[in-house]
Structure 1
Amino acid sequence: MPLNPPAPTPWWKNAVVYQIYPRSFADSDGDGVGDLRGITDRLDHLVRLGVDVLWLSPVYPSPHDDNGYDISDYQDIDPLFGTLADFDRLLAAVHARGMRLVMDLVVNHTSDEHPWFTDSRDGGPGGPRRDWYIWRKPRPGMEPGTPGAEPNNWGSFFSGPAWTFDEASGEYYLHLFSRKQPDLNWDNPEVRRAVHAMMRWWLERGVDGFRMDVVNLISKDPALPDGIVHESGRHGDGSPSFVCGPRVHEYVAELHREVFARHPRTLLTVGEMPGVTIEEARLFTDPARRELDMVFQFEHVALDHGPSKFDARPLKLTDLKASLGRWQAGLADAGWNSLYWNNHDQPRIVSRFGDDSDPVARARSATMLATVLHLHRGTPYVYQGEELGMANAPFASIDDFRDIESLNHYREQRALGVDEERILAGLRARGRDNARTPMQWDATEHAGFTTGTPWIPVNPDHTHVNAEAQLADPGSVFHHYRRLIDLRHTEPVLTDGDFRMLLPDDERVYAFTRADATTELLVLANFTGEPAIVDLPDGWQDTGLLLANVPDPGPLTSPHTLRPWEARVHRRPAQRPDR
């Protein structure tokens, strides 16, 4: 027996996570808003799919300025979604089915209605909780509350300045997002201790980890310098002062030490990190550093952005391969990747990188995209409805939108004189509401989501794209996802194998191999709606077909013609047993 046997592989390395946006998943009481009992009633859908983890977007009490990502009480459930007893029943039902539950944790900021902030504001500059948030005086010589008097020129992610003036105290508070989402001051140890205690409270309740919202923004340069004003912007880009700021690794390591390491169970900890680099991600996810298990990075979902996310441009496949390939290589020997196309902040991938124009192209491109993603090295995430190929919604006017980011962008652009239809086109393509239309359970009115009036309109395509129809169809998008998830559980090469990108300069075909000491997999995917010819690497002709998304895929030849949106996975014994 070796003196130092290898450490066991963490359970989350061959797991698949399913994200639920509670407001839009299932409504049990007919008020038009999804809730915890609705989720509990639909858990068997997740069992049939085969996922291992349920990630629950925020269900805490909130004014819902940002649909729950503005939390006013970290240790309760918003009555909109139910009660703590409902949560406990959901958690027990998840565990009874052999799955785990991960909470969404938002601790870069709170709601301005959280008692911590009301104490900070109402106590004034000398109050005991004033320093729990980031307050600053106006610029010297400027009239408080007027444009330009803010402590610096930073812009909010949700449009406008990142500072709001408090007339009672004559100071501004920082909010990188909505004015109703003031940023916590993580330099204050009392704040950190309060966050640690709250997280331990949820773990003691039985949750299995946390997805931490914008956690790499929690440390700010205390000097708060002005940011560079880019040509397309009205405000300064403050990101060099708060993206992976000066003490962020110290604070995340402290989280691990004070919260995660104290817990007897093996948790899942993932940090959402806008702007994170591969070098920083290695630091966050290297097991030896004891910080986080994995990060969400945004590089690949910004490749089709113009000057802003709402200025959509076509994706270049070579850019996507270069980006994902860099992350595969960069975290190969230290750290771990999160794999995702969709989440509550992204438009639907089949409308974005695929083709939702007709049923065949939609199903084919949805399953192709899934195949490419799930066979990379990392933990795959499935966002609700992605397993059905749900698409962007046909929002008719600004009245159909609900998201604060989209509404603020619309108002700002209209004030600048931008044509309304141009603004709406950008919102339809990239707006976050695309991810938030109700889950499409069946072809009935409101897609089986609610018996009432849904809080946001159901996509009218639910009459032919829904879970009930796809469960009955063995060739559906749902069953392709189920097969992919089964591969994750049964093919060790997907967890531990090397990744090698092929054809990096091909603008039509995405190809790569996964290999360990016993097995090699070849993945071929046509990212276009036209046939694509590909030359195979040596030795892959006539190898065994493991998975395909087309009927009668036939043998693999060289050169091989891939059908529109075709994906196929072939398997052979490893050619280099010593690798």
Structure 2
Amino acid sequence: MPTASTGALAPSSPGREWWRSAVIYQVYPRSFADADGDGMGDLPGITHRLPALRSLGVDAVWLSPFFTSPQNDGGYDVADYCDVDPLFGTLADFDTMLERAHSLGLRVIIDIVPNHSSSAHAWFQAALAAAPGSEERERYMFRDGNGEHGELPPNNWESIFGGAAWTRITEQDGTPGQWYLHLFDKSQPDLNWENPWVWEQFRSILRFWLDRGVDGFRVDVAHGMVKEAGLPDYTPPANAGSMGGVALEPEIGAHASTEPPTPPYFAQDGVHAIYRDWHTVLEEYEGDRVLCGEAWVEPLEKLARWVRPDEMQQTFNFGYLETPWDAAALRTVIDRSISVFASVGAPSTWVLSNHDVVRHATRLALEGENLQGHGIGPKSSGIPDTAFALRRARAATALMLALPGSAYLYQGEELGLPEAIDLPDSARQDPTWFRTNGERYGRDGCRVPLPWEGTEPSYGFGPGAASWLPQPASWASYTRDTQEGVAGSTLTMYQDALAARREHDLAFGTLEWAELGQDVLAFRSGNVFVIANVGTEPVALPDGEVLLASADLIGRELPQDTTVWLRA
């Protein structure tokens, strides 16, 4: 089994493990870089563009799934957890990419999808061929139906993508059979984590990739896997986001101190035994390997249970991502995050965009409703002016990167990319779009392939014009080559912020709040004074050398929607 060289990776020390301070860049493989010109991003394309991430100044790369898959949900429907889908290349391509990343000093985290497999997986195909009650069926959540002839689903659960969460199969003899659970698309059957066989399979999967040299795993639906005994009926609250089944109003991330209702299919206590088991597997390997959970759990006090010392190292702070551009709300969620995660010895993480949410260069200025996972499109209300929205996004990024802990960036945000809103309906591919009959746009708008060079076909995404989702014509002004080395560009701001973050050790800083006004967030962290004007009126700046500004200053005044770092 090949093991990638650790190359130029910086060593860790107790209390300053790399993941406590890392800025981690999410690569969505199909949309990052295409080496062979088929319109689909791939592993050789990622390898080719890794130096650009090194020059950006990030510490690690997280790759969304590249495993063998029918691609019904962007690779989150895995048909083989230990191989590369031909769309993206080969295992040899993965090894080459990993070795190149390590040689550049970049660690690599990969996705693992344990809540469900693809219906094309050999495990599920064997379950379909086997009889009810068989060993093969017990690997998934098969149940007899309700009603006189089993014609009704076992309960009323709904899929995250819309519609029923149960699909009835036809047995081998042609008769209507059992139902299987799929909290996501019907091509994503839920695995049965009450079965020890499933535990053992995933231990082997973890070791397969750890043996190749990966530095850790981002765990998809880390709040899932375990279901409440008896599978009781449950109706989500009206304001539930599509990824969690719990209420996710913006103010929850900032103010909630009580737990919202817990769905019987998410955030069950039994998941913690799984992560304690995985923790012991990672401890078999050198190099501070990590688990980071995608856990849509509220409140933060409950989320912290995922990162206790013997479980995961990190979990995404979706409470922060969901918080609106409001000074009081932001200060509250920042304070709670730092306090809650510190109480279990974990770093807080910060994130503003990913492959499941509207890009923050659009989202933070939206005026209309924006439930998580529903997406936006040309018929949505309250779409902001792009320049205004980008100004706010840059200010939010400059604020986030000054906070202590670890931060996640989503590919393309360093270019200031907005959500791609005007995609033709015929091009859309998100399961949400189809399962809701076009009522929800879904997540395609944040997944459009990146623009690299403005004068090339597909803006340099690949060697030809092909692109699996169409790129907006306006993206010619966002390409990396038009921003590289340009003072004031979004790319330059990100590079400067990441360099200053490292130079001033802000990831290990301690916040000391200052009072500069109701609509102002101001704090000192070491020798840096950070001021974010979240209001509409300019704010007078104190004396101090400007280290970073998200927008041009007006003399010694900080304009609205602008963040500045001063030397304290």
Task: State TM-score, norm by structure 2.
Answer: 0.85
> Is residue 565 of structure 2 the alignment partner of residue 569 of structure 1?
yes
The match for 2:474 among 455, 461, 466 is: 461
Contact 2:79/2:118 (CA < 8 Å) preserved in 1?
Answer: yes
Query: Which ranges in structure 1 are unaligned for 5 or more consecutive residues?
Result: 1-5, 305-314, 414-422, 556-560, 573-579
Residue 281 (structure 1) shift: 2.6
> How many residue pairs align between the two structures?
516
Residue 203 (structure 1) shift: 0.4
**Secondary structure in 1 aligned to 2:267?**
coil
Aligned to 1:153: 156
> Is residue 17 of structure 2 the alignment partner of residue 10 of structure 1?
yes
Cα distance in 2 for residues equivalent to 1:229 and 1:56: 31
After TM superposition, the structure 1 = structure 2 runs for residues 55-70 of structure 1, keeping only pairs within 5 Å, are 55-70=62-77
**Secondary structure in 1 aligned to 2:131?**
coil
Aligned to 2:405: 378
Residue 359 (structure 1) shift: 7.5
Cα distance in 2 for residues equivalent to 1:396 and 1:16: 31
> Is residue 549 of structure 2 the alignment partner of residue 548 of structure 1?
yes
**Secondary structure in 2 aligned to 1:346?**
coil
The match for 1:252 among 275, 282, 295 is: 275
Aligned to 2:359: 348
Aligned to 1:310: none
Residue 368 (structure 1) shift: 1.1
Residue 279 (structure 1) shift: 2.1
**1:294 partner letter:** Q
The match for 1:24 among 15, 25, 31 is: 31
Aligned to 1:35: 42
The match for 1:102 among 100, 103, 109 is: 109
Q: Deviations over 1:238-285 (max 9, x none)?
A: 95313221311111101111x111112211320100124322332222
Q: Using a 3 Å threshold, how does the CA distance of structure 1 residues 468 and 362 change in structure 2: closer, same or farther?
A: farther
Cα distance in 2 for residues equivalent to 1:232 and 1:255: 33
Q: Deviations over 1:388-421 (max 9, x none)?
A: 100111325422322112332344x4xxxxxxxx
The 10-residue stretch of structure 1 (273-282 or 455-464) with the greater mean CA deviation from structure 2: 273-282
The 10-residue stretch of structure 1 (242-251 or 90-99) with the greater mean CA deviation from structure 2: 242-251
Contact 1:216/1:272 (CA < 8 Å) preserved in 2?
Answer: yes
Cα distance in 2 for residues equivalent to 1:513 and 1:469: 34
**1:44 partner letter:** P
Residue 360 (structure 1) shift: 5.7
Q: Using a 3 Å threshold, how does the CA distance of structure 1 residues 301 and 99 change in structure 2: closer, same or farther?
A: closer
Of all paired residues, the percent bearing the same amino acid is: 35
Residue 319 (structure 1) shift: 3.4
Contact 1:328/1:499 (CA < 8 Å) preserved in 2?
Answer: no
Cα distance in 2 for residues equivalent to 1:172 and 1:154: 12
The match for 1:513 among 509, 512, 523 is: 523
**Secondary structure in 2 aligned to 1:481?**
helix
Residue 476 (structure 1) shift: 1.1
The 10-residue stretch of structure 1 (447-456 or 223-232) with the greater mean CA deviation from structure 2: 223-232
The runs of at least 4 consecutive aligned structure 1 residues that moved more than 6 Å come to 235-238, 355-359
Cα distance in 2 for residues equivalent to 1:58 and 1:400: 21
Contact 2:514/2:523 (CA < 8 Å) preserved in 1?
Answer: yes
Q: Deviations over 1:10-47 (max 9, x none)?
A: 11222211111110111111111111111111111101
Q: Using a 3 Å threshold, how does the CA distance of structure 1 residues 135 and 505 change in structure 2: closer, same or farther?
A: farther
Q: Deviations over 1:399-452 (max 9, x none)?
A: 2322112332344x4xxxxxxxxx6xxx3xxx4112111101121332111204
Cα distance in 2 for residues equivalent to 1:65 and 1:96: 34
Residue 126 (structure 1) shift: 3.5
Cα distance in 2 for residues equivalent to 1:172 and 1:225: 15
> Is residue 485 of structure 2 the alignment partner of residue 472 of structure 1?
yes
The match for 2:509 among 497, 502, 515 is: 497
After TM superposition, the structure 1 = structure 2 runs for residues 85-100 of structure 1, keeping only pairs within 5 Å, are 85-100=92-107
Contact 2:321/2:351 (CA < 8 Å) preserved in 1?
Answer: no
Residue 503 (structure 1) shift: 5.9
**Secondary structure in 2 aligned to 1:368?**
helix
Residue 87 (structure 1) shift: 0.8
Aligned to 1:417: none
Cα distance in 2 for residues equivalent to 1:500 and 1:187: 47
**Secondary structure in 1 aligned to 2:223?**
helix
Aligned to 2:252: none
Cα distance in 1 for residues equivalent to 2:190 and 2:330: 33
**Secondary structure in 2 aligned to 1:240?**
coil
> Is residue 306 of structure 2 the alignment partner of residue 284 of structure 1?
yes
**1:446 partner letter:** S
Task: State TM-score, norm by structure 1.
Answer: 0.83
Q: Deviations over 1:474-497 (max 9, x none)?
A: 3211111111111232222x2222
**Secondary structure in 2 aligned to 1:179?**
coil
After TM superposition, the structure 1 = structure 2 runs for residues 185-200 of structure 1, keeping only pairs within 5 Å, are 185-200=192-207
**Secondary structure in 1 aligned to 2:65?**
coil
Cα distance in 1 for residues equivalent to 2:350 and 2:326: 19
Residue 81 (structure 1) shift: 0.5
Residue 325 (structure 1) shift: 3.4
**1:152 partner letter:** N
The 10-residue stretch of structure 1 (447-456 or 203-212) with the greater mean CA deviation from structure 2: 447-456
**Secondary structure in 2 aligned to 1:55?**
strand
Query: Which ranges in structure 2 are unaligned for 5 or more consecutive residues?
Result: 1-12, 247-260, 367-382
Cα distance in 2 for residues equivalent to 1:256 and 1:98: 24
Aligned to 2:142: 135
The 10-residue stretch of structure 1 (352-361 or 25-34) with the greater mean CA deviation from structure 2: 352-361
Q: Using a 3 Å threshold, how does the CA distance of structure 1 residues 341 and 142 change in structure 2: closer, same or farther?
A: farther
> Is residue 350 of structure 2 the alignment partner of residue 330 of structure 1?
no
The match for 1:368 among 389, 395, 398 is: 395
